[in-house]
Chain A
Amino acid sequence: MTGAEIFIECLKREGVEAMFGYPGGQILPTFDKIFDSPIRFILTRHEQGAAHAAEGYARATGKVGVCVATSGPGATNLVTGIADAYMDSIPLVAFTGQVPTTLIGNDAFQEADVTGITRPVTKHNYLVKDTRDLARIIREAFYIASSGRQGPVLIDLPADVQRKDVEFVWPESVDIRSYKPTLYGHPGQIKKAARLIQKSKRPVIYAGGGVISSGASMELRRFAEKIEAPVTLTLMGLGAFPGNHGLFLGMLGMHGTGYANHAIMESDLIIAVGARFDDRVTGKLDAFAPHAKIIHIDIDPSSISKNVKVDIPIVGDVKNVLGQLLEELDKTPDTTDWLKEVQSLKKKFPLKYQTKNKLSPQYIIQQIDEATAGDAIITTEVGQNQMWASQWYKYLHPRSFISSGGLGTMGFGFPAAMGAKVGCPEKVVFDIAGDGSIQMNIQELATCVCNKIPVKVAILNNGFLGMVRQWQELFYKRRYSHTCLYNPDFVKLAESYGGVGIRVTKKEEVRPAIDKAIATDNVVFIDFHIEPEENVFPMVPAGEALNRMIEGLA
């Protein structure tokens, strides 16, 4: 088989059903084989779109996302998506063409040192120098991407390696001597953690994306119900615990709910589950959870005690560790008083918004929630749209909220929605976007129309880069330096690609527009003209303690 044929054969054996990409000179031998392959290939209109689409696919399905691009600029255009997947621990395998091995290092046409460029943003990467190594490398790449703390792996394929004909040998198993993720928690640590939980009076479970990667939502729910502790989720964790559950506190952190943040500050035990104490979550570090002991469950030892000193670290897959803890806990703490207190925090610090506005973004998201009965997949761009989407939609299932958490990539949501829709065609997929972000990958309208990927895009159009403008309003004396946008007519733009556009300027038009979008079997842009200077509240200013929140409403 040639290298290109091995590529197809390995992808089939790995169970790949869809991939996203863009052709070019040095990946031509592979594209020649993709042409005849049964694997669905989706041609995006920009390599960045392909990378985010592969991420969206992976985030929605839990399978490894695959993207393919050519050498040089094709590969560098993938980099943002790869970095995004790295920050959020998303399993992704990216293939890039490379100049022939004889030309590497010669500054050949469309040559870039792609393994060099992507080294800090991949879990691992490979430059394939010999076609005989290719099958093993692809097998390892899928294994590395999808095991342990998941992440992106890149394989750089020189053109001559794709062309060369060798015997195909499929490695039956993967054995990497230096890579053995720890899957179960240490029994001694489990015992210690159980004792601490039993003694606690004011426990809070703080869970993140690790619960989703590990498929541990059921275990998390059983655990929370067993110890009767309230649960707050990070942005990456939304959906890991039902948004309508009595123990749910919503998201914590910079734009978290007041009650989640206050509960953290008053807690005597934080049980961190698959979360990494990001600065957007902790606020001022020395003031974080001052009365609490901390148990930290994570598959990545380097996440533990990186930002916050932890009392009981447990390294392992959170699904297994929660199972071990459930088994170990014979007694459970009495949290009756604490839960009462948490209830009063909920009453004292509810999420709220100015309903007098003619068109509130929060209302739009609530309406999307109602119209889809919490059963849609929501993707977001980055900024205010993302925060409102995290606050005002009740996520009931894991993998129903897809957002660029760590890297915060504008332009993520639309291609990610495409990928999610390809992976879950039966689901309604909404991208909640801003007028700034949507223009960063708007070319993917063509991909949606050509490939019949009917995603819905709710553009919360305020004519601003809203979140940056909000910071300028609050911290830079309202000096709106380059945050005011000139925008195209999004309705006509969608139509020009063969999609559907709807404009909404009044509250009473919101629901009919959403219903119409859902009923339309095509990509739909809804251009919501929202209140231009609406802010996201509550807000913990950067570097402040979590209980020093700014509330928006007088």
Chain B
Amino acid sequence: MRHTVSLLVENKFGVLARISGLFSARGYNIASLAVSETLDPTVSYMTIVVEAKDETVLEQIKKQLNKLIDVITVTDFTKKEHVDREMVIVKISCSAKNKAKIERAAEKFGGKIIQCKNDTAIVEAVGDQQQVKQLLEALQEFGIKELVRTGRLAIAY
């Protein structure tokens, strides 16, 4: 099962390597990872989506993260009220004929065409897990050429 965990960490070189190293050394898989500076430039915020087969593994991951000297706090969103968002950019085949159809499909799930040139349209969308999933399903029929996602961002209430 996938869990969303956020970390406040020291904004120093090597910190990301410590965290990714911890995951690889213990055989945990990172599904997505997003990092950026916070209002306090000495602190970075990481949102990590992890695969954990059960509660014990998730507990271990959190404890091991907490043990790293550069990790300030660890928050597990599993049982916490929170908002999460992900941004996707999708490149799809597009012709004059189906441009309107693509536009409708994208808008239905919070997306929009940001560029349309030659036979390619680029659609962007921001949404929660469900919206992004539905958008990608809806765009499938037009032929997705390439897609890129930021990974999940999450914030607690």
Contact = CB atoms under 8 A, between A and B. Distances in A.
Interface stretch (B60-68, B82-90, B108-116, B124-132): B60-68
B21 A119 contact: yes
A42 to B, nearest CB: 29
B60 A144 contact: no
Interface in A125-183: 127, 144, 176-179
A300 B67 contact: yes
A352 to B, nearest CB: 40
A302 B63 contact: yes
A123 B69 contact: yes
A178 B71 CA distance: 6
A124 B10 CA distance: 13
Interface residues of B, number: 19
Contacts of A309: 56
A120 B21 contact: yes
A215 B17 CA distance: 35
Interface residues of A, number: 18
B46 to A, nearest CB: 13
Contacts of B69: 123-124, 144, 176, 178-179
A124 B15 CA distance: 11
A176 B68 CA distance: 12
Interface in B40-62: 56, 59-60
Given A119-B17, A176-B69, A178-B10, A305 B56 contact: yes
Contacts of A176: 69
A116 interface: yes
B37 to A, nearest CB: 16
A115 B14 contact: yes
Interface string A284-324: 00000000000000001110011001000000000000000
6 closest residue pairs by CB, A with B: A302-B63, A178-B72, A124-B69, A120-B25, A301-B63, A179-B69
Contacts of A305: 56, 59
B67 A302 contact: yes
Interface centre among A120, A123, A176, A302 (most CB of B within 10 A): A302
B113 to A, nearest CB: 43
A178 B70 contact: yes
Nearest to B18: A119
A144 B70 CA distance: 12
A306 B25 contact: no
B139 to A, nearest CB: 41
Interface in A428-455: none
A119 B71 CA distance: 15
Contacts of A301: 63, 66-67
